[in-house]
Chains A and B, each alone.
Chain A
Amino acid sequence: MDLIDTFFNGRVLWDALPLLLMGLGTTLSLGILSIVLGLIGGLVLALLRLYGPPALSGLWVLYIDLFRAIPILVLLVIVYYALPFVGIRLSPFASATTALSLVSAAYSAEILRAGIQAIPRGQFEASHALGLSYWSMMGDIVLPQAVRIVIPPMTSNCINVMKDTALASVVAMPDLLKQATQAQALAANPTPLIGAAALYVLLLLPMVRAVGTLEKHFAKERR
C-alpha cells in the first residue's frame, strides 16, 4: 500500500477538484452571509441590551446566553429536522444560515457590548454636551472607537463561523466537506478529504494570522 497514492493521489484530486471548488463556493457564501447577518444581529442586540427599554433587557440577555450555550450542531439539527413539524421547512442552506447567524449574533453582541462599554464616559458626555443625536453619537463617536477595540475578538468570531459551516454537511448541504466526502466515496480514495482540509486551511490561515497582526497593531496604537 502506497501512502502517497492513498492520501495524495494526484489524479483523484484532479477529478474531485471541480466538486471541491463548488463546495468551497457554497462554504464561502454560507460563511460570509452568516457572518454579515450575525454582525447586524449582534449590533442590534448589543444596542438593545445597553440602551433598550430596561424592562426588556432580560430578554436580550437570555437570548445571548442561550445561543452561546447551545451547541451549533444541535441547533442546526433542530432547525432542519424539528421545525418542519410546525410547518417551517427550510432548505439546507437556509437552515445552516439561520443556525450560524443566530449563534454568531449572540457572540457578536457580547463582543460589541464589551467594546462599547470600554469607551470612556467622557466621550458620551462630550457628545451630549454638543447636542449630537443618539444616532450621531453612536455612529460618529462611540461605534468607530468600539469597533477598533473589538476587531481582534470579532475576527476570531468570524473565523469560528467560517469553520462551523462544515457542520452544514450534516443536513446534506453541498458544502466543501460534503462534496469532499462524496468525492471520496466515488473514488474510493480519501485524497479529496485531504484536498478539502487543505482548502479550509488556505482559506482560514490568513484570517488567523490577521488576528495576531491586528492585535499587535492596536496595542501599539494605544501606546
Chain B
Amino acid sequence: MQINDIQAGNMQAGEAGRAPSARPAARPIISIRDLRKMYGSFCALSGINLDVAEGEVVVLLGPSGSGKSTLIRCINLLETYDSGTVTVDDVAVRPGPNLAAVRSEVGMVFQSFNLFPHMTVLRNVALAPIRVRKLAPKAAEERAMELLTRVGIAEQAGKFPGQLSGGQQQRVAIARALAMEPKILLFDEPTSALDPEMVGEVLDVMQALARTGVTMVVVTHEMGFARRVADRVIFMERGQIVEEAKPEAFFSAPKEERARAFLQAVLNH
C-alpha cells in the first residue's frame, strides 16, 4: 500500500500509512525497497534493497562517494530520493504531516555533531523531549542528566558545546539522540571529524549502546568497530550494495573482488 502511494506521488495529509498486518517474528524495523537517487547524471543510489531487523547493528562500509551517507540520510528523509520506498516500523517515511513523528523515532548522530551552540549541553539533550514528547522540563532535564552520566559527561552539563572537545560534543550528540528514546539510531560517520585520540571514547559509547539492543545503522571507516560490534556488514560501491556478510566472514574472506580491493586499501595503510 505504501509502495503504491509513493509511486503515485501521493503525499496526502492524514494517512498514517501503517500496515494493519500482523508482525512476523524477526520483522524488519527498517525496510528499503528499490531506492534510487541521481545527482544530475551521477547515480548516488541505484536500486537499493535493504531490511534491518529490530535490534540489529548494521555497519555500512565502502569508499567515499559510494552512497553510504546518502542511503542512511534517506532513512529519515534528510535526503530526498527519486523513487523507491523507505518504511520505518511499518510507517512509510515521506513528506507530510507524519514525517516529524516518524523522525522522532529515528535518532541521528552526525559527522559534524550539529549541537545547538546557543544552548547548554543539558538543554541540548532536554529540548526535543520537552517540545516533541511534551515532557515536563524538570523531568526532561533529569532524564538528560541520566543520559549525560551514561555517556560520561555529566559534569559538563552546564557548559556550552563550543567549550567541549570534539569527542565530548559527539557524546552529547549521542545523548541528545537517545533522549527521544528512538527505536533506531543512525550514525553518519560519527568519528570522521574527530582528532584520533578522541575516536575511542565515542566508539566505546556506541559499542555499549549496541549491547542494549537498540537498532543501529552505522556509516563508518572504523574497521575495528565494524568487526567487533556489527551483526552484519554491508559493502557499498557506486550506489549499489555489493556484498552483505557477517563481519567475521567479510573481514576474513570477502567474496567480491571490489570488497577485497577496498579492504586491502584500508587495512594496509
Q: Which chain A residues have a beta carbon within 8 Å of chain B's beta carbons?
A: 120, 122-123, 125-126, 128-133, 136, 140-141, 144-145, 148, 223
Contact = CB atoms under 8 A, between A and B. Distances in A.
Closest 6 CB pairs of A and B: A131-B104, A122-B114, A129-B108, A126-B114, A130-B128, A131-B103
Contacts of B112: 122
Contacts of B58: none
Contact of A140 (B105, B127, B162, B176): B127
A129 B103 contact: yes
Contacts of A148: 118
21 contacts: A120-B114, A122-B112, A122-B113, A122-B114, A123-B114, A125-B78, A125-B108, A125-B110, A126-B115, A128-B100, A129-B108, A129-B110, A129-B186, A130-B128, A131-B180, A132-B132, A133-B131, A136-B132, A140-B116, A140-B127, A145-B118
Given A122-B114, A131-B103, A132-B100, 4 more contacts: A128-B100, A131-B100, A131-B132, A133-B131
Main secondary structure of the interface of A (DSSP, over half): helix
Interface string B110-145: 101111111000000001100110000000000000
A136 B131 contact: yes
Chain B: number of interface residues, binned into ranges: 20 to 34
B76 A126 contact: no
Contacts of A132: 100, 127-128, 131-132
Contacts of A123: 114, 116
A154 to B, nearest CB: 17
Contacts of B108: 125-126, 129
B52 interface: no
Q: Which of A123, A128, A130, A140 has the most chain B CB within a 10 Å cutoff?
A: A130
Interface in B82-100: 100
B106 interface: yes
Contacts of B132: 130-133, 136
Given A131-B104, A132-B100, A125 B131 contact: no
Contact of A144 (B100, B107, B110, B118): B118
A129 B106 contact: yes
Contacts of A144: 118
Contacts of A136: 131-132
